[in-house]
């Protein structure tokens, strides 16, 4: 049913380079959260720290109540089985068929028979829409299909938590839209806790329950989607609206003077809070035929209310 991940005071550096510090957030069980941030802000490092592949300098990561930063290697191995990870490049073995790639974790970590494995692999391939491509090699298929194969592989051990590292990178907008729908559908079907790292604003606006933003070595904000989408925090607003003006520059960080100038130029109109609703993108709902988990009732009500406010301005 998905487990909660509770991060407290997490700090990570490599040598003298602090990547991020004092990050605290809770990923609610069964919900979809997105972590946004410009390139190089340490999003991948964050995911690797959550699964215990990297050790933080300080802080704790509690997975279902157990602090994984304190576990020994063999205990960590057990906790890691709760996680499915979709790495940025799909991380498929190039010389193996999709079938064998997806079967790999089952053959490595379980004693299931080949017929049991076959049932699971075909079930997961069906979930991600890859039936018929069992014999294909990763090099013979599109980037979108490779992501879906990586996702099927992340699903075979029935994870409680799935981490996605930039699932949308390298895909065209249509494929990103399909993948986002797939993510929403999967979450409704398996109810695992999802964390998606991305710098794609459109995905961040449509897909998650919660959004976080990493910037300048800090977690600027983390909270429910509506809160971030209607926030007045300058970095959050700039990032979620994809603007040129604001604290985030091409070189990721602009100097303070330039930020001041731009904020001054923005003027009052743009700094005022807008109507709730104006900034609201509708949330992606699970597709037809997919039973919605109970929390979707509340989401649908909130969506309807925001829509009403946007239309009536009240």
Ligand X SMILES: Nc1ncnc2c1ncn2[C@@H]1O[C@H](COP(=O)(O)OP(=O)(O)O)[C@@H](O)[C@H]1O
40 touches, from ligand X, Mg ion, none (C-beta below 5 to 8 Å by class): ligand X
19 lies in the binding site for ligand X (CB under 6 A): yes
169 lies in the binding site for Mg ion (CB under 5 A): no
Rounded to a whole number of angstroms, the minimum distance from the CB of residue 11 to ligand X is: 13
Q: Could you give the CA distance from residue 293 to residue 303 in angstroms, rounded to a whole number?
A: 16
Of the ranges 43-51, 89-97, 136-144, 224-232, which one interacts with Mg ion (CB under 5 A)?
43-51
The answer to whether residues 181 and 284 touch, using CB atoms and an 8 Å cutoff, is: yes
For residue 257, the tally of other CB atoms under 10 A from its CB is 8
Of the ranges 40-48, 97-105, 224-232, 303-311, which one interacts with ligand X (CB under 6 A)?
40-48
49 lies in the binding site for ligand X (CB under 6 A): no
169 φ, ψ to 5°? -65, 135
Rounded to a whole number of angstroms, the minimum distance from the CB of residue 37 to ligand X is: 6
Q: How far is CA 39 from CA 43, 128, 180, 254, in A?
A: 8, 28, 20, 14
191 lies in the binding site for Mg ion (CB under 5 A): no
Say if strands 193-198 and 161-165 run parallel, antiparallel, or are unpaired.
parallel
11 lies in the binding site for Mg ion (CB under 5 A): no
Contacts of 74 (CB under 8 A, 6+ apart): none
Please identify which residue in 1, 9, 14, 301 interacts with ligand X, judged by CB under 6 A: 14
Shorter beta-carbon distance to Mg ion: residue 91 or 137: 91
End-to-end CA distance of the chain: 38
40 lies in the binding site for ligand X (CB under 6 A): yes
Of the ranges 36-44, 72-80, 170-178, 239-247, which one interacts with Mg ion (CB under 5 A)?
36-44
Contacts of 68 (CB under 8 A, 6+ apart): 50, 51, 52, 61, 62, 76, 79
Rounded to a whole number of angstroms, the minimum distance from the CB of residue 164 to ligand X is: 12
Q: Could you give the CA distance from residue 240 to residue 249 in angstroms, rounded to a whole number?
A: 14
Shorter beta-carbon distance to ligand X: residue 80 or 217: 217
217 lies in the binding site for ligand X (CB under 6 A): no
Share in percent of the chain as helix, strand, coil (round to 5): 40, 20, 35
41 touches, from ligand X, Mg ion, none (C-beta below 5 to 8 Å by class): ligand X
Q: Provide the angle, in degrees to the nearest 10, between the axes of the packed helices 98-109 and 114-127.
A: 130
44 lies in the binding site for Mg ion (CB under 5 A): yes
- Distance of alpha carbon 139 from the chain centroid: 25
52 lies in the binding site for ligand X (CB under 6 A): no
Rounded to a whole number of angstroms, the minimum distance from the CB of residue 102 to ligand X is: 25
45 lies in the binding site for ligand X (CB under 6 A): yes
Shorter beta-carbon distance to Mg ion: residue 47 or 306: 47
The answer to whether residues 3 and 82 touch, using CB atoms and an 8 Å cutoff, is: yes
* Residues found near ligand X in the complex (CB under 6 A): 14, 19, 37, 39-45
* Residues found near Mg ion in the complex (CB under 5 A): 44
């Amino acid at each position: 049913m998905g487990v909660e991940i509770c991060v407290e005071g997490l700090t990570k550096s490599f040598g003298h380079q602090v990547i991020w510090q004092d990050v605290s957030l809770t990923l609610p069980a069964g919900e979809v959260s997105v972590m946004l941030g410009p390139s190089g802000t340490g999003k991948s490092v964050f995911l690797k720290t959550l699964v215990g592949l990297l050790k933080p300098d300080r802080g704790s990561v509690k997975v279902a109540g157990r602090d994984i930063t304190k576990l020994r290697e063999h205990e960590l191995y057990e906790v890691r089985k709760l996680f499915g990870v979709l790495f940025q490049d799909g991380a498929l073995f190039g010389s193996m068929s999709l079938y064998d790639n997806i079967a790999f974790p089952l053959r490595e970590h379980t004693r299931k028979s080949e017929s049991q494995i076959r049932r699971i692999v075909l079930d997961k391939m069906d979930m991600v829409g890859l039936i018929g491509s069992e014999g294909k090699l990763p090099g013979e298929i599109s980037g979108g299909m490779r992501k879906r194969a990586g996702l099927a592989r992340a699903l075979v051990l029935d994870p409680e938590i799935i981490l996605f590292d930039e699932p949308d990178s390298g895909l065209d907008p249509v494929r990103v839209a399909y993948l986002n729908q797939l993510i929403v559908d999967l979450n409704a079907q398996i109810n695992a806790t999802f964390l998606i790292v991305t710098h794609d604003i459109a995905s961040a606006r449509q897909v998650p329950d919660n959004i976080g933003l990493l910037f300048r070595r800090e977690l600027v904000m983390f909270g429910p989607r509506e809160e971030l989408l209607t926030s007045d925090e300058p970095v959050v607003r700039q990032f979620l609206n994809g603007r040129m003006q604001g604290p985030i520059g091409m070189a990721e960080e602009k100097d303070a003077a330039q930020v001041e100038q731009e904020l001054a130029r923005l003027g009052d109109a743009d700094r005022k809070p807008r109507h709730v609703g104006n900034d609201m993108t509708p949330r992606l709902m699970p597709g037809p035929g997919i039973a919605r988990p109970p929390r979707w009732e509340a989401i649908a009500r909130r969506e309807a209310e925001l829509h009403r406010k946007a239309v009536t301005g009240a």
